[in-house]
Amino acid sequence: LTEKLQNVFKKLRSKGSLTEADVKLAMKEVKMALLEADVSFKIVKQFIKSVEGRAVGQDVLTGLNPGQMVIKIVNEELVSLMGSDTTEIALKEGKALTIIMMAGLQGAGKTTTAAKLAGKFKQKGKKVLLAACDVYRPAAIKQLQVNGEKQGVEVFSMGDKNSPVNIAKAAVEHALKNDINVLIIDTAGRLQVDEDMMNELIDIKKNVDVYQTILVVDAMTGQDAVNVSGTFNEKVGIDGVILTKLDGDTRGGAALSIKAVTGKPILYIGMGEKLSDLEQFYPDRMASRILGMGDVLTLIDKVSAEFDEEKAKELQQKIKKSSFGFDDYLEQMNQMKKMGGLSSILSMLPGVGSSQMSQIEAAMDNNKLNRIEAIILSMTPAERSDPNLLNVSRKRRIAAGAGVDISEVNRLVKQFNQARKMMKDMPQMMNGMQKGGKRG
């Protein structure tokens, strides 16, 4: 995919504001990325349409090419669609009993997630009770008991001879008697969305004061997640979503589909079978995962945040005219330092070899930087702009001025010449970056 993107970047070279053609071209790849991530087809279409409208005519930020600018907008839109920020499960004030009902298909991860949540609330100092209302799946009650025990949380069960509603009602009574703060009701799922399952959940909601209905969705179900979450939300009504099995290699497009269809926040993500594997949902991380363009996004971030385009241009001009001198060298080093190490950016570019990287890194050593600065500042302006003036006697004078050995001055001159050679390749590299990198 990255390769495809790079091709797009190559094609997109116009500057100024984003044209319809720019946007259309980049959107083709965005569409592919979203479909590959298993975002529902319908949602992809809607999304593309709305972002296209927003993107056309926007200025291209300096330091970015139009393709990257489109990606930047797409990413922002994804993040805002998925909620911008993290969301917690709402609990009632103080010690009042909050009832949470788990909902979802069989195998989605309800029972596991119920126990994970129980642990989270317990850590926050809540007194938690789990209720076993899945009376169909063999061993479901036992599974909850085992998990509850692992978490040190009480499990309320009445075997499999009672109706889920009756168990739920009894669990609430038990909770109220025992000063429980959070009651989590584990329910039964079916392999597919079906009436019985919905009715059971609706029934529990009618008889018990459920404060939060949490839909648990297996992220690997991809396209299907839309129908499932849509139906649950319509029929039962949900308050939030937990997406499980994101430890797998799914890109997580379900997150976008579900949010788009239900409008309900994604609260947590399941990152494994262990009971500690429940993490906060971060829309920005998920957007990056769904787009599958992490490197490009990091690059865009860095470039738009730190890269001083004007100075870079000036520098490129100087290099072209071969007037790149020690002052520029120093300036360049300081800019690199400001950028948190150019190497971190360069490492993301195809075509930058590790030997070039280590040269740059060696030059970036802070201590050295100070000594280099001292040496350069001991030069006359003429010497700084024309390194060829540096004969032995001048070097000796400079060394004395900077308080270093003449060998260090020699080393700097050598380094500078190397750097200048490398800098000559830089415009090409930078161009490569702007075009999305050259293949190497």
Token pair in block for residue 367: 């201590």
- Find the radius of gyration of the CA atoms of the chain: 30
Q: Are strands 128-132 and 182-186 parallel, antiparallel or unpaired?
A: parallel
Across the strands, what pairs with 90?
none
Q: Which is nearer to Mg ion, 111 or 157 (CB)?
A: 111
Question: Which neighbouring-strand residues pair with 185?
Answer: 101, 131
Least gap, CB of 269 to ligand GDP (angstroms): 7
> Applying CB under 5 A, does 147 fall inside the site for Mg ion?
no
**Residue 308 within binding range of ligand GDP, rule CB under 6 A:** no
Binds ligand GDP by CB under 6 A, chosen from 148, 270, 325, 436: 270
244 forms part of the interface with ligand GDP (CB under 6 A): yes
Can you list the alpha helix ranges (DSSP code H) found in 194-307? 195-207, 224-235, 253-262, 283-291, 294-306
| Residue 209 within binding range of ligand GDP, rule CB under 6 A | no
Q: Among Mg ion, ligand GDP, none, what does residue 432 contact (CB within 5–8 Å per kind)?
A: none
Phi, psi torsion values for 268, nearest 5 degrees: -135, 165
Q: Of 227, 253, 191, 347, which is closest to residue 47 (Cα–Cα)? A: 253
Angle at which helix 366-377 crosses helix 354-364, to 10 degrees, equals 70
Query: For residue 153, what are its two tokens?
Result: 């949380």
Nearer to ligand GDP, 68 or 147 (CB): 147
CB of 285 to ligand GDP, least distance (A): 16
- Let me know how long the chain is: 440
Q: 24, 31, 61, 107: which one contacts ligand GDP (CB under 6 A)? A: 107
* 8 A C-beta contact, residue 113 and residue 270: yes
Residue 5 touches ligand GDP, criterion: CB under 6 A = no
| Phi then psi dihedrals of residue 277, to 5 deg | -85, 60
| Residue 109 counted as an annotated binding residue | yes
Nearest distance, CB of residue 294 and ligand GDP, angstroms: 21
Does 112 bind Mg ion (CB under 5 A)? Our answer is no
User: How buried is residue 170: exposed, middle or buried, by Cβ count under 10 Å (0-12/13-18/19+)?
Assistant: middle
Stretch that binds ligand GDP, among 101-109, 164-172, 300-308, 413-421 (CB under 6 A): 101-109
Enclosing H/E stretch for 215: strand 212-218
Of the candidates 111, 250, 343, 434, which one interacts with Mg ion according to CB under 5 A? Answer: 111
Residue with tokens 């139906």: 231
Annotated binding residue 190 = yes
Q: Tell me if 104 is assigned to a ligand binding site.
A: yes
Positions touching ligand GDP (CB under 6 A) are 104, 106-112, 189, 216, 244-245, 247, 270-273, 277
Q: Which residues are annotated as a binding site for GTP?
A: 104-111, 186-190, 244-247
Q: Which residues are annotated as a binding site?
A: 104-111, 186-190, 244-247
